[in-house]
Amino acid sequence: MTNGRGSRGGWTAFGIVAILSVMEISLSFDNAVVNAGILKKMNAFWQKIFLTVGILIAVFGMRLVFPVVIVAISLGPIEAVDLALTDKDRYQELVTDAHPSIAAFGGMFLLMIFLDFVFEDRGIKWLAWLERPLAKLGRVDMLSVCIALVVLLVSATTFGAHAHQHGGAHADKAETVLLAGIAGLITYMIVGGLSGYFEDKLEEEEEREHEEEEEAARTGKPKSAVRLAGKAAFFMFLYLEVLDASFSFDGVIGAFAITNDIVLMALGLGIGAMYVRSLTVYLVRQGTLDDYVYLEHGAHYAIGALAVILLVTIQYEIHEIITGLVGVALIGWSFFSSVRRNRALAAAERESKENETEAVLTS
């Protein structure tokens, strides 16, 4: 692939932006499915916030500002911006050096999402032979946190041993990986915990609101307003933004394999991110997750695969095509499984109606 050192104008730049957009979409399709499962709980106002303010955070925050911030930690903000515009090779080197801590943070955040999903007992199961025993194991308190910490410890010590064998150039990275992974775990627990807390409060308020509506209908008294919906939606929105950031880590780092021009990178990844956001809202409004019930399962398995890939990339390089194909394959598999399920249910319903009709005619 081109390294993007040519001019930003012309067909070369257009091709680079197009490639980056396609890469971002392929890597983030599972993100759209998971986001849709959360976004459908939010009202139309917060869905608009997700598409407007959220897209600014996603495009300018993660795809443009975030790589500069990584470099600014060691050089300072002014020097980082100057380096990004004038010495792209050195800028790329510094961002790549920060990859272990980025991968540890994002990997742990995504791993917790996957573990909490598979350890929850759900009425609809996709891979029942696997999900039933996992749901039973999920009854053990804090099991997902314990497993995540064990995975992080293994990742950190493995990376540390690998660095020591290679002259100790990154000997301090083991500690960095451990701290970044713990930060990812804490971030998940805080943001996920707050969003879950306010979601529960919202459900309680909705039940009380329903009771007050019934009371108002009987007595004619006005009902009180619900005030906690905003807090619940805000923390779910915050959770979505952190989730999007974790998904975007591999795309931002992988974009350097295509170009080290920060402007082209932001354009390509930004276009892809905007498409994924629009796809998320489309899935919500079309009720796709309700029609294809295994899609959410497939997306979470893709999250688990991405978490493992991010942690493995602390030590080994894995091409972004593999990452994208794994996610697309799992979601495609879950989609066709949903189609087969819908067809089987429709056939069973037709057969039931035919049997009822035949019974009426013969009686």
Task: State how many domains the chain has.
Answer: 1
Q: Which amino acid is at 29?
A: F
339-355 CB burial, b ≥16 within 10 A, e <16? eeeeeeeeeeeeeeeee
108, amino acid identity: M
Asked whether residue 201 is domain-assigned, the answer is yes
Residue 281: which domain range?
4-163+171-351
In the block, tokens 């992974």 appear at 181
Q: In whole angstroms, what is the distance from residue 134 CA to residue 118 CA?
A: 6
Residue 356 lies in a domain: no
Highest mean pLDDT among 24-33, 35-44, 132-141: 132-141
DSSP 1: -
Phi, psi of 238 (to 5 degrees): -60, -40
12 occurs within a structural domain: yes
pLDDT of residue 216: 64
Angstrom distance (rounded) from CA 280 to CA 195: 19
Q: 3-state class of 287 per DSSP? A: coil
Nearest to 50 by CA among 35, 33, 30: 35
| Residue 363 resides in a domain | no
- For the cut 50, the answer to whether the pLDDT of residue 6 exceeds it is no
99 within some domain:
yes
- pLDDT category at 74 given cuts 50, 70, 90 is low
Residue 32 above 70 pLDDT?
A: yes
Say how far apart CA 21 and CA 158 lie, in whole Å: 34
Question: According to the model, what pLDDT value does residue 151 have?
Answer: 93
Cβ-contact 161, 314 below 8 angstroms: no
Give the mean pLDDT of 324-346: 87
Q: What is the rounded CA–CA span in Å between residue 215 and residue 301?
A: 45
pLDDT tens-digit readout, 166-202: 444 444 678 888 988 998 899 888 877 776 676 676 6
